[in-house]
Structure formats: C-alpha cells, structure tokens
Amino acid sequence: MDQVLKSMKDYRLDILGISEMRLKLKKVEKVQPKRPYAVDKLKNNNVSESFREELSKKLAVPQHPSTIEEQWSLFSRTITETAEAVLGRRRGTNKERWITDHTWKLIDERKVAKIKREQKRRLRSWRMEDEEYRRLDREVKKSCRNDKRRCSVSHRIL
C-alpha cells in the first residue's frame, strides 16, 4: 500500500513540474590583505639612500598627465612600485614586529634544515641533519631572545 501511495505522490509531483533540487554553494575565497611595507628598513642609511635614488629616477621620467587624478595616481603608483622593489613587505604579524631580519633569515634556514632532516632515510645521515637542525634551532631561539630584550629595553626608554 505504501508503494502505491509513494508512486502516486511522485506522479502528482511530476505532473505539477515540481522536483527536488539540491544546491551546493560556492565558497567565497577570502582575500588576504597585503602586508605593509618594511619601512623600518629606511632607518638604514644605505637602504634609504637607494630608495631615494630609485624614486628620483622614476619621477625624473617626463610624463604629462592631464588631470589631477591622473597625476596623483601616477605619483602613488611610482611610490608603491619603488617601495615594493627596494623595501619589500614586512614579515610576520603585528605581534612579531620585534623580530629582526637576521632572525627571520635564521628561521628560514632552520625550516630548510628541518625539511632536509625529514627527507633522510638512513639513520646516520638523519643524525647529521638533526645536528644541523638543532644548531640552527638554538641560534634562532638565542636570536629571538636577544631581539625581545632589545625591543623591551627600547620600549622602556620611550
């Protein structure tokens, strides 16, 4: 009896043009905000001088924008391109601003050493890579401690 009722129900839905449909919504990709430029590098005289030189080279090229908006967009684009080329983006989150570039380089070296260590199959070569990884790990931790101290001392002075 149930079979007959079920088939009658399907028949009625078919006549009315009603059907069941399932929709799968597309995931919206989150746009990662661009990291700010590493303006702390401008404290270094060599970097600030190279930034000035690069900017003056790009601004010296004669261009004749017709409106103020075009002039502003040209100026803005020139500064951002120069900052991207010379300074680059700041690394780490806002809480990690105290970490210096030297320490970030050590962190990258340690990451490479860890990958090499994990790829070794023989115990002897794994131990050699493990020693290298441990040495770099100690250096990273030591450098981070020193950076943190330097940062806390400079904040106390301010």
Condensed to tens digits (0 to 9), the pLDDT of residues 96-139 reads 888 988 999 999 999 999 999 999 989 999 999 999 999 999 99
Are residue 102 and residue 48 in the same domain, yes or no? no
Mean pLDDT across the chain: 85
The parent domain of residue 50 ranges over 35-90
Alpha-carbon span 86 to 52, nearest angstrom = 10
Are residue 52 and residue 98 in the same domain, yes or no? no
The answer to whether residues 39 and 86 touch, using CB atoms and an 8 Å cutoff, is no
Per the structure, the count of domains in the chain is 2
Tell me the pLDDT band of 35, cut-offs 50, 70 and 90.
confident
Cα atoms found within 13 Å of the Cα of residue 16, Cβ hemisphere only:
9
Are residue 97 and residue 58 in the same domain, yes or no? no
Please check whether residue 9 lies inside any domain of the structure.
Answer: no
Region 150-156: mean pLDDT is: 80
Of 54, 53, 52, 74, the residue nearest 65 (C-alpha): 74
Alpha-carbon span 25 to 34, nearest angstrom = 27
Please check whether residue 13 lies inside any domain of the structure.
Answer: no
Please check whether residue 26 lies inside any domain of the structure.
Answer: no
Last residue of a domain, one of 90, 115, 136: 90
Please check whether residue 72 lies inside any domain of the structure.
Answer: yes
Last residue of a domain, one of 48, 72, 90: 90
pTM: 0.62
Tell me the pLDDT band of 158, cut-offs 50, 70 and 90.
low
Alpha-carbon span 63 to 72, nearest angstrom = 12
Q: What residue type is assigned to position 131 of the chain?
A: E
pLDDT score at 147: 93
Interhelix angle for 45-60 vs 68-86, to 10°?
A: 140
